[in-house]
């Protein structure tokens, strides 16, 4: 049995679903699963890590909070990998993960597969599936060498609990000689769940005609417990902020349900959401390309369909 190291992402002790998915996948492989988390609140994750198959959690307190500093996190990650000696490191392909793991991989000269949507672990042999050419094709990637690192997109793997118990190892690191000092993190105004973590997304495009019509999507999102996203056309038009943009130059999302309203389905938009499990397209043009990707399509005017859907969902879900 080899060892798998899982990097736990959290916000002040609130673990991200993507980390639970990774723990579940690691534990299902019957290898030994150890995990590490950085920053304030990481020690309190011991029970949840244990419940999802982790036998040991390294809680690392090097900073006052868990804000990301690339230089510091690279130091910590390389250090903990050397200490635990895993054959595989699993981490989320979040904004943090996309920045951190190529650095760590370069330092340790490891195999690396990033932004994956599928993972198979057989003993110590690892194969990942990742989209290429903006999701037009998929590559099966075999990883070789003593150390392999895989970053996975969220919402691609199931989450399951087990009855394992977890030991906590508190590590205090005093980083010296850092060239980058994180002085301040200014939080965005939105308190809503980030698009990359959302299980349901309702996205709007230029077909909504007017920024005020995003209110209809917000109403639907509230009933469904969804997060609202957008196409680049409406972000460029200044209707909504860039943090809501889905696509090649926005966020890559993979929710269970993606509802695209008044979005044509340009390849650059599809690149960010085609990994969604179920796609519902609402568009008044039956030939819109989005319908080729959609699981379900509704041809019609959003102004009639969205309020009707909202009412129906309100009745069913109350
Ligand atoms: C380098 C590059 C990067 C890009 N990155 C991104 C990206 O990250 N994300 C992204 O989204 N785009 C991106 N784009 C832009 C992309 O090519 C498209 O221009 C954009 O996605 C179109 O947005 P849209 O679908 O909202 O608008 P449109 O293409 O104008 O589509 C509007 C749709 O609404 C429908 N509609 C109109 N009226 C109604 C109605 N009453 N009811 C229902 N439907 C209606 C229309 O039939 C149409 O299909 C990028 C482009 C480039 C060149």
Token pair for 53: 């198959």
- CA of residue 143 to ligand 1 center, whole Å: 37
205 lines ligand 1 (CB under 6 A): yes
Q: Which of 119-133, 135-149, 167-181, 212-226 has the lowest mean pLDDT?
A: 167-181
pTM of the shown model: 0.81
Distance (Å, whole) CA 150 – CA 157 = 13
- Ligand 1 centroid to Cα of residue 149, in Å, is 35
Residue 200 has pLDDT above 70, yes or no: yes
CA of 30 to the centre of ligand 1 (A): 45
Q: Is 231 in the pocket of ligand 1 (CB under 6 A)?
A: yes
Which pLDDT band holds residue 65 (cuts at 50, 70, 90)?
low
Nearest alpha carbon, ligand 1 atom 36 = 207
In percent, the amount of the chain with pLDDT more than 90 equals 75
Mark residue 58 as left, alpha or beta (left: phi above 0; alpha: psi -120 to 50; beta: remaining): beta
**Which amino acid residue places its CA nearest to atom 51 of ligand 1?**
268
Beta carbon of 206 within 6 Å of any ligand 1 atom = yes
Residue-wise pLDDT tens digits, 209-265: 999 999 999 999 999 999 999 999 999 999 999 999 999 999 988 899 999 999 999
Alpha helices in the chain (DSSP H): 17-28, 46-51, 70-84, 95-108, 214-224, 232-236, 267-273, 290-293, 302-317
Mutational test site, ligand 1, from 268, 281, 304, 308, max ligand atoms within 8 Å of CB: 268
Q: Is the CB of 245 under 6 A from ligand 1?
A: yes
Between 165 and 283, the higher pLDDT residue: 283
pLDDT band at 191 (very low <50, low <70, confident <90, very high): low
* Beta carbon of 272 within 6 Å of any ligand 1 atom: yes
Q: Name the pairing type of β-strands 167-172 and 56-61.
A: parallel
Q: What pLDDT does residue 221 have?
A: 96
Range 302-311, long-range pairs (CB < 8 A, 24+ positions): 302/207, 302/208, 302/213, 302/216, 302/261, 302/262, 303/213, 303/216, 306/216, 306/217, 306/219, 306/220, 306/261, 306/282, 307/216, 307/219, 309/220, 310/216, 310/219, 310/220, 310/223
Secondary structure element (H or E) that encloses residue 90, with its range: strand 88-92
Average pLDDT, the chain: 93
Query: What number is the average pLDDT over the span 113-118?
Result: 94
The pLDDT of 153-160, averaged and rounded, is 89
Average pLDDT over residues 105-132: 96
Q: Judging by beta carbons within 10 Å of its beta carbon (0-12, 13-18, 19+), is residue 235 exposed, middle or buried? A: buried
* Pocket flag, ligand 1, residue 249 (CB < 6 Å): yes
Ligand 1 atom closest to the Cα of residue 249 is 8
Most confident of 11-15, 67-71, 123-127: 123-127
Query: How many Cβ atoms are within 10 Å of 316's Cβ, its own excluded?
Result: 8
- Statement: residue 40 has pLDDT above 90: no
Ligand 1 site, residue 250, Cβ cutoff 6 A = yes
Q: Which two tokens stand for residue 56?
A: 């040991």
In this prediction, residue 26 carries a pLDDT of 97
Give the closest residue (by CA) to ligand 1 atom 37. Answer: 207
**Nearest 5°: phi and psi at 80?**
-70, -30
| Side-chain-side CA neighbours of residue 302 (13 Å) | 26
CA of 290 to the centre of ligand 1 (A): 10
The larger pLDDT score, comparing residue 116 to residue 171, is at 116
Q: What pLDDT shows up at residue 73?
A: 93
């Amino acid at each position: 049995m080899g060892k798998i190291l899982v990097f736990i992402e959290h916000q002040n002790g609130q673990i991200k679903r993507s980390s639970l998915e990774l723990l579940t996948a690691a534990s299902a492989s019957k290898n030994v699963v150890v995990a590490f988390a950085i920053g304030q609140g990481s020690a309190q994750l011991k029970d949840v890590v244990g419940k999802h198959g982790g036998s040991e959690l390294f809680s690392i307190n090097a900073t006052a909070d868990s804000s990301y500093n690339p230089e510091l996190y690279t130091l910590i990650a390389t250090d903990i990998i050397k200490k635990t000696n895993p054959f595989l490191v699993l981490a989320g392909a979040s904004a943090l993960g996309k920045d951190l793991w190529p650095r760590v991989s370069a330092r340790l000269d490891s195999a690396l597969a990033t932004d994956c949507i599928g993972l198979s672990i057989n003993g110590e042999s690892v194969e990942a599936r990742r989209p290429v050419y903006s999701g037009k094709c998929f590559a099966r990637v075999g990883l070789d060498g003593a150390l392999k690192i895989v970053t996975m997109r969220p919402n691609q793997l199931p989450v399951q609990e087990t009855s394992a118990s977890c030991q906590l190892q508190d590590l205090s690191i005093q980083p010296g000689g850092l060239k980058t000092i994180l002085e301040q993190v200014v939080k965005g105004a939105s308190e809503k769940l980030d698009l990359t973590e959302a299980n349901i997304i309702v996205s709007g495009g230029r077909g909504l005609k007017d920024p005020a019509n995003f209110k209809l999507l917000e109403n639907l999102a509230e009933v469904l417990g969804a997060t609202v996203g957008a196409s680049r056309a409406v972000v460029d038009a200044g209707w909504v902020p860039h943090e809501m943009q889905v696509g090649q130059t926005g966020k890559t999302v993979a929710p269970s349900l993606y509802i695209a309203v008044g979005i044509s389905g340009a390849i650059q938009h599809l690149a960010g959401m085609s990994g969604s499990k179920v796609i519902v397209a609402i568009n008044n043009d039956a030939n819109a390309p989005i319908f080729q990707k959609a699981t379900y399509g509704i041809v019609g005017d959003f102004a009639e369909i969205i309020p009707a859907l909202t009412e129906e969902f309100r009745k069913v879900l109350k």
